[in-house]
Structure 1
Amino acid sequence: MLNLLSILIGLVALPFAAVGIIPIPLLPLINWIALPIAIVGTVVGMASRSNGGRNFNLVIVLISGLRVMLTGGII
């Protein structure tokens, strides 16, 4: 049950991360929304027996975190 909840949280964070990758000025700030949502999904996924939801959220955290790091956290 927690794995399904983790996947659903990841599906909420995924559109924010996908839009945040587009290199239009100020649009990557959306990654600051996707990052905490995906971190919550990762924590919920850690509580479940299965690894699918946790891994899905870790990929979103990696993508959003890398984009935030590359842009210096501003753009």
Structure 2
Amino acid sequence: MGLVSLLWGIVALIWMIVALIPLVGITNWLLIPFAAVGAIIAALGIALSRPGHRGRAKAGLVLNAIVIVVAAFRLSLGGGIL
């Protein structure tokens, strides 16, 4: 699950970079739930992994959390539209 959450976070990060382009920011409405699912997968990966094997899941959780924060900030700047 750690690898899945890390890959999910990388895809969300790439999508977030594309969503920073003006007039494409409306895709942040889809990006936030996408990253939230990745964060849930990462949390499950942390909870179900052995203590020494949680690094990928933690990295996925951090990536998805960063994406959620930046996407929400971007939506607040554009009034939820841009």
Give the alignment's TM-score, normalised by structure 2.
0.77
- Aligned partner letter, 1:72: G
2:39 is matched with 42
User: Alpha-carbon deviations, 1:6-62, whole Å to 9, x = none?
Assistant: 11111221222101112x2x2111212221111100011111222211111101111
Q: Which structure has the larger Rg? A: 2
CA distance, structure 1, for counterparts of residue 9 and residue 59 of structure 2? 11
CA distance, structure 2, for counterparts of residue 69 and residue 62 of structure 1? 11
Matched pairs, number: 72
**Contact 1:42–1:53 (CA<8 Å) still a contact in 2?**
yes
Task: Answer 1 or 2: which has greater helix percent.
Answer: 2
Structure 2: tracts of 5 or more residues without a match: 47-53
RMSD, aligned α-carbons: 1.3
Structure 1: tracts of 5 or more residues without a match: none
Give the alignment's TM-score, normalised by structure 1.
0.83
